[in-house]
Amino acid sequence: MPVDTEYRAHFDFDIRFANGEGMSGTGFRLDLPSPDLGEGEVAQLLIAHLGLALVDEIELRGLRVVEEPHRGSRGVDAVTGPGGGVDASGPTRVVDLSHPIRAGLVTYPGLPAPTIAPHLTREDSRIRYAPGTEFAMDVITMIGNTGTYLDSPFHRYAEGADLAGLDLSSLVGLRAEVFHLEDAWTPQRRGIRPETLADRDVRGAAVLLHTGWDRWFGQPEYGVGAPFLTGEGAQWLIDRGAVLVGIDSLNIDDTEAGGERPAHSLLLGAGVHVVEHLTNLGAVPPRGARFTAAPPAVEGFGTFPVRAFAEIAA
């Protein structure tokens, strides 16, 4: 086809938001980057064009694609376009997004809590060093899944990159797209789906899902009824070029749906890092921050705590 041929979609639509409200439109027309997009991709373009947040469901009716000049629809690059940058110049403030680790901390029900014991006490060290000089050396024993931690591909796949094999550029200073979703899920509908994320360009970004579940961290309530990312949501983020996905919940998957872990499997299989048990995401704006979560470079290890933080222009 000629390179200058342009296409638009014609349709009616109904949109339902996570808070129960909705909107409808008839005779809507939308610029398309190509004529072969599926209905779901057109729906995501519509969300981006309208700038809608917290969309739960969208239905298109009477969809047809016609050859027609573009009229300047916003979001026409939402399916295939490049990601934006963040201006890191100027003073910044740092927001800590990690839970402190302490002896006896229960991060995930059923996993062992860390223990901390002295290897060398300050008192014992005094006989080894010059007068007035003393040190403490301690030993911590813990599972990698403790506190706020990062999953590398090796966590899920034996042939995947371990902690020592991760590229630091995919862990440090990432453009952060923070989705504030406290009102986007219910106990009956806990899964975060693509429609809820479709108003953003996430290419090259750390996608951080703020559900508010971190308020229960360390308490029995934390282990039951937690929000999660659906497999469809994970695939959408992969297709749109996300580099890392973080959540302030018990798990990025639904741990109450049996042994399947579609979000882990898809994201880690695509080389997208996963950070779980974040906290304080409510203090980070939807856009404009940079995110860092770098674990130590441990060979043959797939998961380890990180000091996750966001840098925000002051």
* Position 73, amino acid: S
- pLDDT score at 83: 41
Q: Is the pTM of this model over 0.85?
A: no
Side-chain-side CA neighbours of residue 108 (13 Å): 17
Q: Domain spanning 95-99+147-313 has what CATH number? A: 3.50.30.50
pLDDT (tens digit, 9 = 90+) per residue, 240-259? 999 999 999 999 999 999 99
Task: List Cα–Cα distances, 110 to 13, 105, 113, 146, 227, in angstroms.
Answer: 46, 12, 9, 12, 19
- pLDDT score at 52: 85
Please check whether residue 70 is in contact with residue 76, taking contact to mean a CB–CB distance below 8 angstroms. yes
Please check whether residue 278 is in contact with residue 250, taking contact to mean a CB–CB distance below 8 angstroms. no
The three-state (H, E, C) secondary structure of the chain, written as one string = CCCCCCEEEEEEEEEEECCCCEEEEEEEEEEECCCCCCHHHHHHHHHHHHCCCCEEEEEEEEEEEEECCCCCCCCCCCCCCCCCCCCCCCCEEEEECCCCCCCCCCCCCCCCCCEEEEEECHHHHCCCCCCCCCCCEEEEECCCCCCCEEECHHHCCCCCCCHHHCCHHHCCCEEEEEEECCCCCECCECEECHHHHCCCCCCCEEEEEECCHHHHCCCHHHHCCCCEECHHHHHHHHHCCCCEEEECCCCCCCCCCCCCCHHHHHHHHCCCEEEECCCCHHHCCCCCEEEECCCCCCCCCCEEECCCEEEEEC
Taking Cα atoms as reference points, which of 32, 15, 36, 33 lies closest to residue 24? 15
Mean pLDDT of the chain: 91
Domain boundaries, the chain: 7-67, 95-99+147-313
pLDDT (tens digit, 9 = 90+) per residue, 2-57? 446 889 899 999 998 887 889 888 888 898 988 888 998 899 888 888 888 888 88
pLDDT (tens digit, 9 = 90+) per residue, 274-295? 999 999 999 999 999 999 999 9
Q: Point out which residues pair with 32 in neighbouring strands.
A: 7
- pLDDT score at 84: 43
